[in-house]
Amino acid sequence: MRYGVISDVHGNLHALLAAIEVLEHAGVERYVCLGDLVGYGPFPNECARRVAELGAVCVAGNHDLIAVDRLDPAGIGALARTTLAWTRTVLDPDVRAQLAGLPLTVALEPRIVLTHGSLDDPRRYIRRDEEAAEQLERLAEGYEDARLLLLGHTHIQKAYAERTGAVTGRRRVLALPRDERVLLNPGSVGQSRETSPHGRVLVLDTDAWEVRWHAVRYDRRACRRALRERGLPERSYHRNPNAPRRLARRAGGRARAAVRRARQPPHGGAP
């Protein structure tokens, strides 16, 4: 079976449609979605319906749960609060029912388990290797036959095997070890948190037991325009991890320039 795995669509219809095109070209036979259909983006209803039309096996993300009052919004950031507040006002009844019915965890087949953040909590970020190792231990305890745990939520691609350790997600094709449990995160379709603004998806081939990573280019200008038209922050579609450092460097440069100007003598004065 060749699965197309998507996660963290976040209402970004332009990215989702481009991702589906990539996965169809890759010949996927079935779709898997690791949650967060809504939040941040301008097309929550359209994205949720399109994923349902795919017949995707889908779990609930924390944004999906908050949008339909299944999870307390405490602790989420300002951008998430702003966009989710808008999302809640525009959700159609059928989409609200769709999100309300999403399970937290699914055993896709005996070897493969899906959830959003972690096996314990859809809000938990599994970023570090030691956290991935702990999740694979939990997988072994709860799902004896499972060899693969698929997570989303971080918006960052990751592959971690219980004995081999971290495996780079930058290789286009990754052969999965058959004698180890593995954690995989495909990254985000709709809100990249990498330097590149492209969406991310993966193709899981369970016959070859390998993964193919894909970057997805889409019409970001149209996405920004749709955000602007709905009164949402245009930056919602991409959170560049380097942006704070760039801002800090610029602020530092301005401060140093101000100091240099203050030290210069007045025009025409003595040196």
Over range 91-109, report the average pLDDT.
98
- What are the pLDDT digits (tens) for 214-229? 999 999 999 999 999 9
Over range 175-190, report the average pLDDT.
96
Q: Where are the domains of the chain?
A: 2-221
Question: What is the reported pLDDT for 136?
Answer: 98
Question: What is the reported pLDDT for 259?
Answer: 60
Which residues have C-beta within 8 Å of that of residue 232, sequence separation ≥ 6?
A: 41, 42, 82, 83, 86
Q: How far apart are CA 86 and CA 43, in angstroms?
A: 11
Question: What is the reported pLDDT for 245?
Answer: 46
Which residues have C-beta within 8 Å of that of residue 25, sequence separation ≥ 6?
A: none
Q: Which CATH class is domain 2-221?
A: alpha beta
- What are the pLDDT digits (tens) for 33-61? 999 999 999 999 999 999 999 999 999 99
- Which long-range contacts (C-beta less than 8 Å, at least 24 apart) are formed by 231-234? 231/86, 232/41, 232/42, 232/82, 232/83, 232/86, 233/79, 233/82, 233/83
- What are the pLDDT digits (tens) for 240-263? 998 644 444 444 555 555 566 666
- What are the pLDDT digits (tens) for 101-122? 999 999 999 999 999 999 999 9
Q: How far apart are CA 204 and CA 30, in angstroms?
A: 10
Question: What is the reported pLDDT for 270?
Answer: 43
Q: How far apart are CA 9 and CA 45, in angstroms?
A: 12
Tokens of residue 150, six digits: 């698929």
Residue bearing tokens 């990249």: 192
Question: What is the reported pLDDT for 167?
Answer: 82
* β-bridge mates for residue 196, sequence order: none
Provide the whole-model pTM: 0.89
Q: Is 219 helix (H, G, I), strand (E, B) or coil?
A: coil
Average pLDDT, the chain: 92
User: Distances from the Cα of 169 to the Cαs of 72, 98, 159, in angstroms?
Assistant: 33, 32, 6
Q: How far apart are CA 156 and CA 153, in angstroms?
A: 8
CB 4 within 8 A of CB 26: yes
Residue 22 backbone phi and psi in degrees, to 5: -60, -45
What's the DSSP call for residue 51?
H
Question: What is the reported pLDDT for 172?
Answer: 87
Question: What is the reported pLDDT for 265?
Answer: 62
Tell which wins on pLDDT, 185 or 266: 185
